[in-house]
Structure formats: structure tokens, C-alpha cells
Chains A and B, each alone.
Chain A
């Protein structure tokens, strides 16, 4: 714990209107007070007093932004608080105290950790001290994570908001950040509407980005061309089905030859009329020429039967087409 903090804090009651709510130097949580906190303060008052620092103009908040905000909303004009004398505690210690307070109460989310990291780094003389200083405030920040957090903070607000609300992952956020503002907004909208999983998001972002480069048009134009709106507006499809349809459409556009080839393979496999227990697998990406048959059986009779079937199959024209692997024009 920062030195002297306990000794220096005096308990007083004050009017929240005297607090400079715009001084956000120690704010690391972005959310406002939840209804539970407001109700609890309405019923029981402020149980844990916020920590403030006296300033020449009044007070500023170190810990307890949400509590003060709740009191303001509830028009409470006498609030208990612990107050530090002006300038007695170094700024870095105040920030550490604010971070620790938030980290202990349910923790910080990714974006809040990024903000806390950025603020700590602003105050450190040597960035190498960050992991130790952060650890003392209850955060585990490696140098690599710190770099990622700084990058996160440099992303457009739309993306930061998505990370904050856990709508997207850090990896997808970075991918999204490589796009133009207009494309970011389009994809953000899509993600917020459909809520695909993190890996689905990455796939959608990377394919749409590629299509926009290949077609020299914006992501919205690419989506318009697919067309994606008919899927999004189709009331017969639930959210998951919409995601599936959209992903298929995007992939077909992104890999026209490959997806056509896959379709032809599936059609040919269908023509083979394989019995249950016999399954034909193509090589990954159709790169190797080796196809795999999986054969399951329960008795020697069944095995013999399927072996005979395989022999017949080897002359099947559909199998020949599969093995010839010619690519069609799209």
C-alpha cells in the first residue's frame, strides 16, 4: 500500500457538488453506476466512503467515481468521504490506489486494464518498472501485454467501445483497426447485430477486408454486392442461421474457385452413393493428392461386403472426376 495513505486520510462529510467530477486522472472504469449501486445507496447510504484529494478548488476523486455519481443522481448532499491533503500523496500512488480499488471490486475489463496501463505508463520514469508497479495494484501486465494495451487505446472509439462491451476480442479489434473508418463502422454494425463468435469475427473481418482490396471498393459495397442485406433481413432465419448464411456467402466470394471445387467434390461424392460406414475425405485444401476413405465395420462379413463395394467404386466415373481435380472457371 502506498506509504502514508492511511495516516493522511481524514474522514469528513461533504456535498458532492464540491467535487470536480471532470477530473478523471484516477478514473480507470468507464461505466457509470449500475441500478444495484444506486438502490443500495438510496436504502443504506454510502457504506464505504470514497477517497478524495483536496484541491485548491475543492476535491477530486481518487476512488469512488460511481458512488459520487450515484449520490449526485439521488440528490444526496452530505456524503462521507476520506480526504487526502493536497499534494501529500504522489500521483502514481493515487493511481495505484484507484486501480487496486477497482481491481478488488469485481476487476477491470480488458479496455479498463488498457486505460489503467496507459495511465501508469504516463507516470513512470522507466517503462520497465510497469510489471512490478501494476502487480502492486493487483494487475498482471507483462511488457508484451502493455504494448497490446497501448495499441488498443490507439484504435478508433467504435472499436474501443466494442472491446469494452466485450462484443469483440482484442485480436479481432486489431484486425478491424487496420480498416478505414467507414469500413470499421460497417463491420462493427454487423458484429453488434449478429454477435458472431470471436473466431467467426476474425474470419468475417479478414475475408471482407480481402474482398474490399480485390474489388477496390468499400466493405459496405462488398456487402451490398453479396448481397448481405437479404440475409440480415430474412425473418425466417434466426441469428445463428444468419451468421451461417452470411459466412458462406462471404467465403464463396472470397474463394470462388476453391468453393466451386468443393461443391463439385461434394456433388461427386454424393454420386458415389457411399453406404453408411464408408466415408470419403478430401485432402486439406486439396493440396495433397491423397484422399482418405474411412471404413467402419462390425463383422468380417460386413468388411468383405464393403471391400467389394470399394473395388466397384474404383471404376466409378465420379471418383475419376474427383481424382482428376480440374478447376472450373468461375
Chain B
């Protein structure tokens, strides 16, 4: 178990991370959610009055990325809760929507982009649940299909033991015909979700990586076996599943290691319950390199055979990426030939050489993913603006 609740406090067992400071925005001081969280957390915590001073201290510390993991800001999201995933130029994007419920993470992956994304990075939880609900209701009343998820600016399940936001979202999404929620995690904090009436509107997703990558790069996260067990548990409760091989990391022998994960996965998981499997190789903005080198001086991860892509990000030299993807795809296809596979931020050449087709041939990546969502989440295509004349059987399916 990633997180254990003692009577008044939360102790993060993995990664030895402990929240030491709590800031409560006066604007949310009276919210029941704030009360709920602080009651569970504030024993042994310093409640700070001046957020600027705390942020300054974090910024000026030797290791702001670690300091930010010891400090939680409970506040409200003053901007939109739902944002279109920014994607990146020159590569195929999947038209995903981010549900911005909080920021940063208690786990500590060396490659985590959030370390460089927030200035300074600090754990943040938004508790203006009512406003989020209002914005979601507007989304639910539109005709198009929304694939949304909370796992972009944070991990979707880290706060479950103190603030069961994910559980509330599962209930909120349940039964909607034009929206699904993806909860993406590296934890196994699924206990509170298992008994919910989700009606297949929530896709439980895990990031998967090789045991070597998890051991060396994903500090404080659940092991591969535990992630797969948690996924199997959710499968048994009828949840549709998603898996993300992202970031895939190149090292000698990695191809067989990734293929081994596929075999391990499908020993426990029924391919029929998998909505999608994504793949993406490690890529990063150059400014992240400085952070990784400072925090993990002997980490090999930034010393791969990278080139600078047209979007300014460093990524593995393309023929290497293709080789890596092929190894995994070959293993997956042997065991789960019908599962929808896609790439996160790759171009047509990669698609063609690895999967044998380009998204454009099947209406584009959003359409491929929407079709898979409709099939697995039990949605009615006729009530979705994109597929007015389709039945489930006539939705676009790329070849195997």
C-alpha cells in the first residue's frame, strides 16, 4: 500500500516522503473539503500563514524539487478546471482534456516533467469542488465525446487516503454518455474505488515500466507486479483499463525487458478490458536535464542517444525509438492483437513503421481513441456528435 492513514496523519511509506508544512488559502478555509483534509493531516504539520515566504524558501533551497514535496497548499483553482492537453508541434496529438485538480506529486520520478513545469514545484490540491462540478456539467451537456483525466499535473490517486476526490469524480462521471474519466497512476491506492458504481465511465490506468526503470528512476512508486495486481483488482470490478508505457527508456537489453512486461501484463489482464495502450519514449525539455543531473548525478537517463526534435525537446534518435516500440508492439500483438495501441507524440513515420498505418487513414488519432472508448465504456455512438450514423460494430478500427 502506498499510503497509510494513521489516526490523524498520513505517512508516506514509499520514498520516505513526509509532508511537513500545510498552507490553507483563507478563501477555502471554510470549505468542508479543507476541514476533511486538515483533520486527517495536520497533526505534526506546521500550518504556515504566509504562502509567499514558504514559496520563497522552497525556491531558494538547494533542492526546491524535494522541498516542494514536503509542503501542501490547499487552495482553489481560479482558472479553468478543464484544459485541452497542449500537445506539441510536429507530432500527432490525441486531443485529450486535462482535469486540473491539483499539482505536483508525492512520488519522485527522476524524469518527472512537473519538476520543471511549476516555479517552484509545490504540492497543491484544489478544493473548490463545486466549481469543478459546474464546469464538468457544462462539458457533460455538450454533444461531443470528451476523454478527460486527472493524471497530467499530478498522479490521479495520491490523495485518495486523505481526500477521496477520485472517488467523487468516478461517481460524477458515472452514467454519462459523452465523457470518460481516466485515472492515471503509479500507485495502488484503488481501495476506495473498487465498490463504486462507475458504469464503465472511468478508465483505470497505470503507467508501466521495466523493473530496472522503476527501481532506478521511479522512486516511491509501486512495483510493477503491484501495479498489475491493482489493475487486475479493478478489472474484476468491471473497470475498463488503460496502460501507458511512457516514458520508455533505452538501455542495453531494454527491448526484451519491455516485451517481458507485456507477457506479465496479459497473464493477469484480459485484453478485452483494455481501452488503450499508449507508448512514448523518454523526451524532455533541455531545462529538465539540469534538474535531473543535480538531483541524480549518476543517473544514466539523460545520457541516451538524444537529438533535439523540431519541437525543441530532446528525444531518442528516431530509428532507436522505432526499434524499441517494435519490440513492445510485437509482444503485445501476440497476446492481445485487438487492443488499441497508440503513440504519444510521434509522427506518421513512426506509426507506419511500427503499426503499419497512420492515424490519418482511420480518421485521426482522436477518432481512433474515441471509437475504442465507445466500445469499451459502453457508450452509445449515436448520441455522440462524431459518430451519429455508427453502431458499435461500424466504428473505425485500425488493422492489427
Instruction: List A residues at the B interface (Cβ < 8 Å).
Output: 178, 210-211, 213-214, 216, 255-258, 261, 284-289, 325-327
A213 cross-chain contacts in B, Cβ below 8 A? 298-300, 303
B297 cross-chain contacts in A, Cβ below 8 A? 178
**CB of B264 within 8 A of chain A?**
no
CB distance from B246 to the nearest CB of A (A): 19
Question: Are A214 and B322 CB-contacts (below 8 A) given A255-B305, A258-B317, A288-B310?
Answer: no
Select which of B293, B305, B308, B310 is within 8 A of A258 by beta carbon: B305
* CB pair B317 A286 closer than 8 Å: yes
Select which of A178, A256, A288 is within 8 A of B305 by beta carbon: A256
Select which of A178, A255, A325 is within 8 A of B319 by beta carbon: A325
* CB pair B293 A178 closer than 8 Å: yes
Most buried by B among A178, A255, A257, A284: A257
**CB of B271 within 8 A of chain A?**
no
B305 cross-chain contacts in A, Cβ below 8 A? 255-258
CB distance from B318 to the nearest CB of A (A): 6
Cβ proximity bits B282-305 to A, threshold 8 Å, 1 near / 0 not: 000000000001000111101101
* CB pair A287 B307 closer than 8 Å: yes
List 30 A-B pairs, Cβ < 8 Å: A213-B298, A213-B300, A213-B303, A214-B300, A214-B303, A216-B298, A255-B305, A257-B317, A257-B320, A258-B307, A261-B317, A261-B319, A284-B308, A285-B308, A285-B309, A285-B318, A286-B307, A287-B307, A287-B309, A287-B310, A287-B315, A287-B318, A288-B347, A289-B347, A289-B348, A289-B349, A326-B319, A327-B319, A327-B320, A327-B323
CB distance from B216 to the nearest CB of A (A): 12
- Tell me the complex Cα distance, A258–B314, Å: 14
A287 cross-chain contacts in B, Cβ below 8 A? 307, 309-310, 315, 317-318
- Tell me the complex Cα distance, A257–B305, Å: 8
- Tell me the complex Cα distance, A288–B300, Å: 26
- Tell me the complex Cα distance, A258–B318, Å: 9
B349 cross-chain contacts in A, Cβ below 8 A? 289
B299 cross-chain contacts in A, Cβ below 8 A? 213
Most buried by A among B298, B303, B349: B303
Known A211-B303, A287-B318; further 5 A-B contacts with Cβ < 8 A: A210-B302, A213-B298, A255-B305, A285-B318, A286-B319
- Tell me the complex Cα distance, A255–B303, Å: 10
B298 cross-chain contacts in A, Cβ below 8 A? 213, 216
- Tell me the complex Cα distance, A216–B322, Å: 27
CB distance from B41 to the nearest CB of A (A): 37
B307 cross-chain contacts in A, Cβ below 8 A? 258, 284-287
- Tell me the complex Cα distance, A173–B365, Å: 47
- Tell me the complex Cα distance, A256–B303, Å: 12
- Tell me the complex Cα distance, A286–B322, Å: 12
CB distance from A215 to the nearest CB of B (A): 10
CB distance from A308 to the nearest CB of B (A): 29
Considering only CB atoms, which chain A residue lies closest to B309 in the complex? A287
Considering only CB atoms, which chain B residue lies closest to A256 in the complex? B305
Considering only CB atoms, which chain B residue lies closest to A325 in the complex? B319
CB distance from B119 to the nearest CB of A (A): 17
CB distance from A222 to the nearest CB of B (A): 12
- Tell me the complex Cα distance, A255–B314, Å: 14
B315 cross-chain contacts in A, Cβ below 8 A? 287
B300 cross-chain contacts in A, Cβ below 8 A? 213-214
- Tell me the complex Cα distance, A326–B101, Å: 43
A216 cross-chain contacts in B, Cβ below 8 A? 298
Most buried by B among A178, A216, A327: A327
CB distance from B341 to the nearest CB of A (A): 21
